[in-house]
Amino acid sequence: MKNSLAIVSGGAFGATLRAMIGTAMNGVPLSTFLVNVTGSILLGFFYQYVQSDKRISDSLKKFIATGVLGSFTTFSTYSLDLFGYLREGQFFVALLYGLGSVLIGIIGVLLGIAAGREIRRHLTWNG
């Protein structure tokens, strides 16, 4: 029950943050791209830096990864944006958006993992 509440409360936070960014950017698909890439970087960092830390509770890990970051990023909105480009006949934009989102998202995860690894290495070396 504790983990479920952590996920629900994290989800409310992440979804609200995503909606605020979308509103601030007038709902353009670029906001979805920005959110998904940022979320990928943060999830990669979390995976490398936080997930393996035994001092952090499972509930907090679920709050962050599944709740906040899971609801902050969104595959369904990405898919709807991509469909909109296709429907409007903007095939090249759809191709760039579709492939670019996936590739840059993967690069974001890798950057987050690298940052988490470096920070952990630095703190371990100095600590």
pLDDT, tens digit (0-9, with 9 covering 90-100), for 58-88: 999 999 999 999 999 988 889 999 999 999 9
Closest among 52, 58, 27 to 121, alpha carbons compared: 52
pLDDT band at residue 121 using 50, 70 and 90 as cut-offs: confident
Is residue 63 within 8 A of residue 10, CB to CB? The reply is yes
Is residue 72 within 8 A of residue 108, CB to CB? The reply is no
pLDDT, tens digit (0-9, with 9 covering 90-100), for 37-59: 999 999 999 988 887 788 899 99
